[in-house]
Amino acid sequence: MSFRFEIVARDPRSRARVGRLYTAHGAVDTPVFMPVGTAASVKSMPQPLLEQLDAQLLLANTYHLFLRPGHEVIRELGGLHRFMAWPRALLTDSGGFQVFSMNSIRTVNEEGVRFRSHLDGSPQFLSPEKAIEVQVALGADLIMVLDECLHYPSTHEKARRSMELTLRWARRSQEAFQRMTSAAKADKRKSRRTAGLKPRPSQTAPSSRAGIASESTGFSPYESEGHPLGALAPEGTASQALFGIVQGGMFADLRRECVARLLEMDFPGYALGGLAVGEPAALSYEMTDVTIEKLPEDKPRYVMGVGYPLDLIEYVRRGVDMMDCVLPTRNARNGYLFTSTGVVHIRNAQYARDPRPLDQNCACAVCWRYSRAYLRHLFNAGEILAATLATHHNLHFYLDLMRRIRTAIRTGTLDQLADQLRAAEAGQEV
RNA sequence: GGACGGGUGGCCGAGUGGCUAAAGGCAGCAGACUGUAAAUCUGCCGCCCCUUGCGGGCUACGGAGGUUCGAAUCCUCCCCCGUCCA
């Protein structure tokens, strides 16, 4: 089953569209927000909770999983889905963002990026080919080319050089991916021939992996009735889609050129990278506009690393289908909670005796059950539960907002939704 | 009764004559966070003043006196705490 994207509805008043991404691990409704699970874990959130929140697509990270536990380990254990017990779709980032965020412990050259491991200081090397090799081993449904995420501000000259490098890396990433894909297909054909067997689903289906598990433990829970991983699709390059990434700093001409040259490579989807790195919001939107004008209608567009709730609507309005961001999860852990009436700093003294739910208008399990006073107490006491509950709520807020956005596009009420959200955020906390 | 050791800002705890409104930690208060080196980080944290700048005033190192140009730091007495000996 290969990757496919279809558009199912459009907003008459903007570029916004509702779509569906079909992956080997389920369909994904777009516009979609991906919770970030860098190290194969959305920090503090058990997978069943993520399923309850109806997260359909998670993001994990090549760089982190390459360092620990190592992509070979994950491959051996049946791929990232099985390893992290996540039966739904996954996207892995290539490590390009670490080129940006680990500025002080890395050097970039033509060949790739040299890192000093943030775990033990050991020298590490990530090239476009390596990034693909790791991502193929991990087996996420959507994978990304290695890119250089540029700092803001940068000169036109620097942005061009960086963009050129990103383009060369995109080409190399794609070639590596095609090599590995065809190699894997050839392998599969050969093994079928030599075994003299007709291809059977069980050959690559989870049950065969479960069989491996059975041999060592004598028991495989995967085989139990109704186990979430029971119906897990086989991992493999055949079902992976490699996305290209548009760079070009904050320069419209570079962004346009970058798109044009990426289109020649014909990726199944395109990401906008290097945005929300400290520039004014208007600039991010402008870059998004000039980029998306040049992108084909029928391919998904992914803005990497955004944003605040209102940003999500703004990007969707501009024709963006996919976004991811650490804000709802990281800020949750830091006591910064998104509500229908604006941001709540739950650690603030004013909530010490507040018996009300965090958000009166929220249908999430946390708002259903717990008081602000209790949430504040959990933060104050340094209880682990604080992180889980706060993350649960914030992710619910984000994922629910995406549902509302999709509905609004279908009903042509995206503007009203934006106004509503703006008014609510501007409104004083009750 | 005697011998030592000790009493420092909400708590713990440095500091043994000026560079000390007094290190550091905790607690407290506020803030930041955008493809996660983040359960992290930053600022404030005696009181009162122009919210102006390494600004001004006041009060502070158990208590009361004293020595000194100058004391949390030295001396005297007192109070309290701890350990040990009777």
pLDDT tens-place string over residues A342-377? 999 999 999 999 999 999 999 999 999 999 999 999
Quote the ipTM score: 0.89
> Encoding tokens for residue A382?
């340094």
- Measuring from the CA of residue A247 to each C1' atom, give the nucleotide at the shortest distance: B35
Which pLDDT tens digit goes with each residue over A218-247?
Answer: 566 777 777 888 777 665 566 899 999 999
What's the CA gap between A248 and A274, in Å, rounded?
A: 8
Q: Which of A11, A93, A147, A321 is catalytic?
A: A93
pLDDT at position A192: 58
pLDDT at position A254: 98
Instruction: Give the distance, in angstroms, between residue A381 CA and nucleotide B12 C1'.
Output: 19
Within window 133-152 on A, which residues have Cβ closer than 7 Å to strand B?
144, 147, 149
Tell if A324 CB is < 7 Å from nucleic strand B: yes
Name A339's Cβ contacts closer than 8 Å, sequence gap at least 6.
Answer: A358, A359, A361, A362, A397
pLDDT at position A428: 44
pLDDT at position A183: 77
On the CB side of A69, CA atoms within 13 Å amount to 13
Instruction: Give the distance, in angstroms, between residue A54 CA and nucleotide B41 C1'.
Output: 32
Which pLDDT tens digit goes with each residue over A393-403?
Answer: 999 999 999 99
* Cβ proximity of A76 and A61 under 8 Å: no
- Map residue A327 onto helix, strand or coil: helix
> Encoding tokens for residue A90?
């996954």
Which pLDDT tens digit goes with each residue over A196-219?
Answer: 444 443 334 344 444 444 445 556
pLDDT above 90 as % of chain A: 84
Which pLDDT tens digit goes with each residue over A65-91?
Answer: 999 999 999 999 999 999 999 999 999
What's the CA gap between A237 and A358, in Å, rounded?
A: 44
**Residue A93 is a catalytic residue:** yes
